[in-house]
């Protein structure tokens, strides 16, 4: 019974509009800035300092260019945590994701989000 409740809760959380589809720009966090946007792409500068956090939000498919490497902790809606070790000059192709993040180090990246 507890397993059914946990699975139902996870399903509701993942399908909830409060979690999925949240635009990161709605929070007004100081470490994310729109550099350019049109109907096909949005380019963001992501430059958190150590300890900066970003509330739960979603990204579509995107390309990430790491300007300044460092570690970033991401947490998915299911509670799983990953520590990313971003390398300066690295380019990443990222699938759509919903997550929170916290900078373990000062980092900087350019995110190119693909719109539908």
Report domain 2-114's class.
Answer: mainly beta
Compute the distance between CA of residue 96 and CA of residue 12 in angstroms, rounded to an integer: 19
Q: Is 51 left (phi over 0), alpha (psi -120 to 50) or beta?
A: left
Tell me the mean pLDDT in the region 45-68.
Answer: 97
**Domain extents in the chain:** 2-114
Residue 116 has a pLDDT of 77
pLDDT for 15: 40
Residue with tokens 């929170």: 100
How confident is the prediction for the chain on average, in pLDDT? 86
User: Tens of pLDDT along 29-56?
Assistant: 999 999 999 999 999 999 999 999 999 9
* Band of pLDDT at residue 21, cut at 50, 70 and 90: low
């Amino acid at each position: 019974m507890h397993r059914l409740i946990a699975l139902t809760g996870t399903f509701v959380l993942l399908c909830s509009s409060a979690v999925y589809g949240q635009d990161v720009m709605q929070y007004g966090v100081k470490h994310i800035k729109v550099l350019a946007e049109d109907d096909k792409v949005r380019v963001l500068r992501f430059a958190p300092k150590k300890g900066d956090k970003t509330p739960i939000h979603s990204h579509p498919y995107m390309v990430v260019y790491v300007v300044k490497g460092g570690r970033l902790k991401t947490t998915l809606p299911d509670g799983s945590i990953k520590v990313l070790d971003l390398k300066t000059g690295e380019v990443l192709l990222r699938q759509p994701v919903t997550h929170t993040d916290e900078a373990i180090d000062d980092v900087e990246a350019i995110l190119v989000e693909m719109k539908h």
